[in-house]
Structure 1
Amino acid sequence: MNLRTGQLVGVEALIRWQHLTKGLLAPVAFLPIVEDHALAINIGEWVIDTALGQIEAWQVQGWHVPVSVNVGARQLQQANFVARLRTLLARHPDVNPADLTLEILETSALKDIPYASRVIEECHQMGVTFALDDFGTGYSSLTYLKRLRVASLKIDQSFVQNMLDDPDDLAMLKGIIGMASAFKCDVIAEGVETVAHGTLLMELGCDLVQGYCFARPMPAQDLPSWVVDWASEWGKNRP
């Protein structure tokens, strides 16, 4: 969400597994099991394909919303990643590649930074942008920021949630926002849960946020009606 305008500027695709006997499972229940297996690549490609299909479906309904998708280090570093992504995009010719953002976890183990940089550059030439997710939680923040062409930084929610009470987290937030500005990146705060968090983030110069203050994860088909309801409420209560 853009705090200053109240507009939805994008959504993040979150995978869930509707298990036959265990019900709806969160990613932590199954992704760690496959992250070092080739199946992780298949799942990653399925998610991208599904996200592109959803963008297409929303366009048919007459509205436009970009989607971001998490990409694992194993998937990004496969030799044919760019070719595979180009194939996925070709399946959805009505989707503007600029409406797809791929998020890399800042804690991801990118073993070959020069190769990852080339991959990101080739994707950028196709129109697909990248974001650095959970920024500030790993040891490669500055290296990744310097070497990888990313359009935005997503501040990890652990800093955001404690920013009102912990001066160290507040200082970290200010530093990340400053770095994003220096590297000409957008900055997005994750885990925004209260109006107080949003107000302070705006004062710090961070207008783009996501978190439970606005909505919890929902099925894609519920999003259009939620946007209408949100616009109505924000219009009543806007500053």
Structure 2
Amino acid sequence: QPKVDMLQGRVIGLEALIRWHDSMQGRLVLPGEFIPLVEGSHFEIVLSEWVVRQALCQLSEWHRMGLDLSLSVNIPAPHLRSPGFVDFIRLEMAVYPQLPPRALELEILETAALGDLDAVIQKMMHCMDFGVSFSIDDFGTGYASLSYLRRLPASIIKIDQVFIRDMLHDPEDLSIVQGVIGLALAFHKAVLAEGVETIAHGRKLLDMGCSLAQGFGIARPMPAAEVPVWIRNFKGFPEESSQQ
């Protein structure tokens, strides 16, 4: 799914979203149906490693095509905390030395480092040495302290879509979104809104100082093969008057 800068009208990257093609039923199975089946098991890490490898392979292909894109991947907490995580990232990044720094972005939940903050920070710093960047996903849904969040070396805070979706008619959600944007500025981090479904959502976010966004109002998730065409046809975030 593309991520864009609404103010500058450009694509800044994409998020890798996993789907399982069920050939027997002839449908795409969403992660909410199959991820719970592997959570807490060794296969959760195996699946996470597979996603990272696929993401790097796709990134390499896009860069060969001249598309200067970043691609973000969700990393489950057990994988991040696992003893071999840093070596895994180092070895996989070494396969693609042509990729520019920060082409691969790892998204972690704000609660991923609870219980062993120093160890997780050290792992993140090591991975950043290999050219990887980090973002904090689904911000606002956890219970991490502000000092904890300030210490995490992530460059982007992603506001969870549950707050974005209803912010136009829910004053509490709007206040939360405003607060997160303020926190991001205070922590010198970029902020990206998830779940931007309408032009009105995008305009409100721009008014509040948040220009980075993703969601159905910008683009629905698409197969990797469709990305180059979508980018060529992307004309920037539309004006309010063009909404259908």
If the TM-score is normalised by the length of the shorter chain, which range does it land in?
over 0.9
Contact residue 196 and residue 213 of structure 2 kept, 8 A: yes
Q: CA deviation at 1:234?
A: 5.4
Deviates more, 1:22-31 or 1:192-201: 22-31
The alignment status of 1:218 with 2:222, answered yes or no, reads yes
In the alignment, what sits opposite 2:139? 135
Q: CA deviation at 1:140?
A: 1.2
Give the counterpart of 2:151 among 144, 147, 162.
147
SS at match of 2:105: strand
Deviations 1:97-123, CA, capped at 9 Å, x for gaps = 411110002244743211111111111
Higher helix fraction (1 or 2):
1
Distance 1:226 1:109 in 2: 36
Q: TM-score, normalised by structure 1?
A: 0.94
How do 1:175-194 residues align onto structure 2 when only pairs under 5 Å count? 175-194=179-198
How do 1:32-111 residues align onto structure 2 when only pairs under 5 Å count? 32-108=36-112, 110-111=114-115
Amino acid at match of 1:137: T
The alignment status of 1:15 with 2:13, answered yes or no, reads no
In the alignment, what sits opposite 1:112? 116
Distance 2:136 2:95 in 1: 26
Deviates more, 1:13-22 or 1:190-199: 13-22
Quote the RMSD (CA, aligned, Å): 1.8
Distance 1:143 1:136 in 2: 15
Select the structure with the greater relative contact order (CA < 8 A; seq sep ≥ 6): 2
Amino acid at match of 2:7: R
Distance 2:121 2:210 in 1: 26
Amino acid at match of 1:142: L
The number of residue pairs the alignment matches comes to 237
Structure 1: state its 5+ residue gaps: none
Amino acid at match of 1:72: P
Amino acid at match of 1:164: L
Distance 2:77 2:162 in 1: 22
Distance 1:84 1:14 in 2: 20
Structure 1 segments, 4+ long, off by >2 Å, are: 106-111, 141-144, 231-235
Distance 1:144 1:21 in 2: 46
What is the percent sequence identity of the aligned residues? 43
Distance 1:144 1:19 in 2: 40
Distance 1:195 1:66 in 2: 24
Distance 1:191 1:99 in 2: 23
Q: CA deviation at 1:204?
A: 0.3
Q: CA deviation at 1:80?
A: 1.6
Q: CA deviation at 1:91?
A: 1.5
In the alignment, what sits opposite 1:27? 31
SS at match of 2:128: helix
Amino acid at match of 1:46: W
Distance 1:6 1:111 in 2: 40
Distance 1:203 1:232 in 2: 17
Deviations 1:14-59, CA, capped at 9 Å, x for gaps = 0111122133111111111111011111111111111111111111
Distance 1:5 1:72 in 2: 32
Contact residue 86 and residue 123 of structure 2 kept, 8 A: yes
Deviates more, 1:106-115 or 1:195-204: 106-115
Check 1:141–1:187 CA distance in 2 against 1; reply closer, same or farther (3 A cut).
farther
Structure 2: state its 5+ residue gaps: none
Q: TM-score, normalised by structure 2?
A: 0.92
Q: CA deviation at 1:96?
A: 2.1
Distance 1:141 1:130 in 2: 18
Amino acid at match of 2:127: C
SS at match of 2:83: coil
